[in-house]
Structure 1
């Protein structure tokens, strides 16, 4: 038997590597080490256009956040009530069934859109698929803008929501595939910031137009939705495609050109080494999974990766976020009039914006697992406190305390669980299955949103269960169970290349050991052992 030494393996092209080499970091040892050593600001200087294009794609997510927040805010808008509502005891209001229908339009559309996006993403790539979705959005904003009945508006919401399902999948997948390791956390977390910006703009538009009594009180916000797809369509022809997708399409020269577009001419990294790492990662995943279907997301090591991705996104819904959507309800109970309660809602969204920005600092200092679990622990505690404050006789002070705790909960959520979720799902999923994995997680999360959209009014309305703040007990208990799951199942992906993550999952390394498992050293030990045994690696 011949012996294969370290230098021989490094000289092999990724296509020539045998399966025995694939579970060791060796052919890409140098570039893997360089990725680990690259600091944040050095990465920004090397990849300035990667930062720009990742944020540019997030504009699509702004649309999704804007639409979801906009329609629900219209329920208290006098002009909207008169146009689409029914007269009841001298005043107009949107009936409960239509409120439910309109509220579910966005999440139902996201479920269908997310599940439908896997094939076009892999067939046409991120850039073309996003362009088609922008045209789709422009068309169905027309339906919303010119709606003459609440049923027509509901149809426009559902059909427009199909594109939002695509947007939420494309943005994090694209950001994770065009940037180096040092930038991956911040840029994928920007997806959550885009959501918050969309919600904040929607709240501001509704608050600013609340006093108008003509049709432009609700038509103007709908018209704003034409701005973002037009901006995207103007910029997309110049955007580089994902190098990972291009390698999977056997377009190596195009992948090389894309990497050059994403990096700086002055401080350009070794493009050939980066390209070799992408090829090696793709080769490894081809060996581990022969096909790239939705079913493959639930096979072998990918089952664990899909479970983690689904849960960290689902926790956003089942862990208390629906309750925070009713903060205005508590402000009104505390004695504020509708207008002031609405303005307090804008303040709640602003806190979320600040929290998401602060998450970038946390991401640069702490691991994903640490941030997510810490956030879950604090949020769980706050939910139980909200529940206890509602025991006994409810008074204004207790309601104000609950509303304040909701603001604090929002701040912590947007600083931890909210943005880190998008980082985790973008890093944990295999590159060949990333689009489909994120699609599945988005669909599950949106489906849960549909359920809670129906359930929340029955939990909180005074003529139904009238739980008020006691709903904190329900969400607190669910959040506690989720926290236990997080401790045992969420791995630390900070500082790991996609190739390293593939290997760690294939080796079945426990979640709590991901951070300290030294793949570079274990690869070196494997070579030494094989050389002593005189067998090839």
Structure 2
């Protein structure tokens, strides 16, 4: 191990990579590596980098635990045994969880995750994506015990809060790691698997909740809670063997390890090809290093990084304003729309499976269309469906209008899962600079939680019979907020498809208008 690498084990280091900018041979290597990524098609890139795809998917799959737990709680409030044990009686043989406790169950995990994302940034900068994720998985294994043995709403809420802390680690690191280990053509597909992991978690929850829906004892909710333990340990073992991001290693001055990671991520990577990729990474990192040294949270608000941080925060926050919370509380929404409890659980299972299909479809959409196109058109479609939902709930209600509201709820979830949901993670991972990426993704996700926590309360108020009891009329509210998101995205969302991280840095540093990102030409030899 080199002296620099030994030093890095104890203290952060700032290593200069300016040799790559001054050495013509290294510059040519960097140019060749970047040109090769631009020339690759999606399928060609996948065949050349199978292990990069695999490890990106494994890292993204950690988010299945946040999805599992989030959907578990939203299903519990519609579970008869859970309502009877923890709820208040509202009629003959009718029970419900009070709105304040519904909100607490839904929000406590997000509060914990809010803390987790802020811890994730500095920890990742210090020990890397791999060890930070392993630490999160160990904490996750321990905190599940609180929820499983909890016998009051108070303990369940506390358990959720503690479980939320490792969620913050996973969601902050997954899109950043996935976008760094794959070449340009695969960034959208790999980061979109985050949304697929959400769908997988919701499918398992929907299946478990449906299977135990008819039980009248405590195991109706304890068995689904215990199923959380099927994820952390296998993932911990896998991630122990995964390669660290070569971008993180280069920033820490650990070139030999970065070279080994590059070789492990590709298929039959030659020494020459690996050295070229290394030169490309060093070139980009040196361009960013000229803007500042050791990254801090305050750097997110300086220079061109302020604009990048705002975009990341807005894209993350917008996920809560376009009807996504209808999908997150689907079972309860279907019940409020007039469906029976059993049919609501069945419909929720169908919805989650359709979301998985939509996630897979997003791979093709992102390969064919630009990021802005997928985001804006997907959001436009959901705006229409949300207002239609509100109209259906406003006319005199009957059997047909109930089914119309339920169908629109399914469609809104499907459209979101195929467009705005997955493409948001791609945009987030591509927008931040390499130097500040762990901190930027953390702050962006924090913006998501800051908006989600009050929106969960608002959503619960709108749907609950002890609240405003709006049912499908909530479509007017979410449709209105979605319009604001669309207008903001139209003017401020840049197009970064086919852009290397070097090109993205230059575009932001030159303060190019968001709508001109796609057409602006960046010379292959430009460094600023």
What is the TM-score normalised by the length of structure 1?
0.90
Contact 2:75 2:329 in 1 (8 A): no
Q: Which among 99, 104, 126 is matched to residue 96 of structure 1?
A: 99
Residues 1:401 and 2:404 are matched in the alignment: yes
After the TM superposition, which residues 131-530 of structure 1 pair with which residues of structure 2 at under 5 Å, given as runs?
A: 131-265=134-268, 270-329=273-332, 331-332=334-335, 335-520=338-523, 523=526
> Alignment partner of 1:224: what SS?
helix
Once the two structures are overlaid, the 10-residue window that deviates more, 82-91 or 351-360, is 82-91
Partner residue, 2:119: 116
Partner residue, 2:59: 57
Once the two structures are overlaid, the 10-residue window that deviates more, 421-430 or 385-394, is 385-394
Cα drift, residue 235 of structure 1: 1.4
Once the two structures are overlaid, the 10-residue window that deviates more, 181-190 or 219-228, is 219-228
What does the per-residue CA deviation read over 1:296-347, in whole Å, with 9 as the maximum and x for residues that have no partner? 1111111111111111111110122223445445543554321111111111
> Alignment partner of 2:519: what SS?
coil
Q: Which among 35, 47, 50 is matched to residue 48 of structure 1?
A: 50
Partner residue, 1:37: 39
What is the TM-score normalised by the length of structure 2?
0.91
TM-align CA RMSD: 2.3
Cα drift, residue 262 of structure 1: 0.8
**Partners of 2:353 and 2:289 in 1: how far apart?**
44
Contact 2:31 2:280 in 1 (8 A): no
Cα drift, residue 521 of structure 1: 6.7
Once the two structures are overlaid, the 10-residue window that deviates more, 393-402 or 166-175, is 393-402
Contact 1:14 1:276 in 2 (8 A): no
**Partners of 1:269 and 1:106 in 2: how far apart?**
47
Contact 1:333 1:396 in 2 (8 A): no
Q: 1:464 to 1:515 in 2, by over 3 A?
A: same
Contact 2:178 2:191 in 1 (8 A): yes
> Alignment partner of 1:390: what SS?
helix
What does the per-residue CA deviation read over 1:214-271, in whole Å, with 9 as the maximum and x for residues that have no partner? 3322222122111211011211221100101101111000000111111112688711
What does the per-residue CA deviation read over 1:177-232, in whole Å, with 9 as the maximum and x for residues that have no partner? 11111111100111111111111111111111112233322222122111211011
**Partners of 1:507 and 1:27 in 2: how far apart?**
25
> Alignment partner of 1:210: what SS?
coil
Gaps of 5+ in 2: 1-15
**Partners of 1:418 and 1:269 in 2: how far apart?**
38
What does the per-residue CA deviation read over 1:406-444, in whole Å, with 9 as the maximum and x for residues that have no partner? 211111111110000000000110011111111111111
Contact 2:114 2:446 in 1 (8 A): yes
Contact 1:58 1:190 in 2 (8 A): yes
